[in-house]
Amino acid sequence: MSTTPNGTPGSGSNLQIRGITTLNDNSPLVVIDGVVRYDGFGNIGSDEIESITVLKDASAASVYGARAANGVFLITTKRGKMGKPVITYSGMIGKQQPTNYPKLMSAYQFASLRNKALKNMSYDPANPNHAGLFYSEDQLTDFQSRGDENVWYDATFKKIACSMIKMFQSMAAQR
């Protein structure tokens, strides 16, 4: 069973072979090319894997002991082979673009709307306990004289974000 705890990029998945067997760690044992890995196999590229074998019964426990109580993933990677060197290239390009840009208010519009909202919530600007919540007339006049100041949004956010990832892999011949 594979579950993803959240949608965060790079967070990986939780893999279970035999279900939940303990209150502690339920993750299966991962063995890559005969070496036990405790960080899973999320850092291995799919193009590097030659085969995956899943051991889920008592035969796994007989070889790996109690560590294999939740099952075992045996992963064999592609290794260097005799002959000419092989160079592979893998590339990706991505584009991110928000679906909607918010229409922002100016400082004057926000302050005026906040004053109206406070009045609608039965706050009284004449009451000394409530007066600090309201924008004063001087502040409203100052905001209005400045005009529309939403240029910060355009300066801090890009309409389109592009990323390019290039990965070079080379496998040299073993001699």
In a domain, 83, yes or no: no
Same domain, 111 and 64: no
Q: In terms of residue numbers, what domain contains 125?
A: 107-156
Q: How many domains does the chain have?
A: 2
Residue 117 has a pLDDT of 95
In a domain, 19, yes or no: yes
Residue 49 has a pLDDT of 84
How confident is the prediction for the chain on average, in pLDDT? 76
Residue 171 has a pLDDT of 43
The span from the CA of 47 to the CA of 105, in Å, is 50
Half-sphere exposure of 30 (CA within 13 A, CB side): 15
What are the phi and psi torsion angles at 146 (to 5°)?
-75, -25
In a domain, 41, yes or no: yes
In a domain, 94, yes or no: no
Residues 35-84 pLDDT 10s: 888 777 667 777 788 888 888 876 666 788 877 777 888 888 887 667 78
Mean pLDDT, to the nearest integer, of 113-134? 93
Same domain, 12 and 64: yes
Same domain, 71 and 111: no
Residue 12 has a pLDDT of 66
The span from the CA of 124 to the CA of 114, in Å, is 13
Same domain, 116 and 72: no
pLDDT over 80 at 8, yes or no: no
Residue 151 has a pLDDT of 64
CA dist 44 → 32, 139, 144 (Å): 10, 58, 57
Single-letter amino acid code for the residue at 118: L
Going along 1-155, which residue ranges are E strands? 2-3, 14-15, 29-32, 35-37, 49-55, 72-77, 86-96
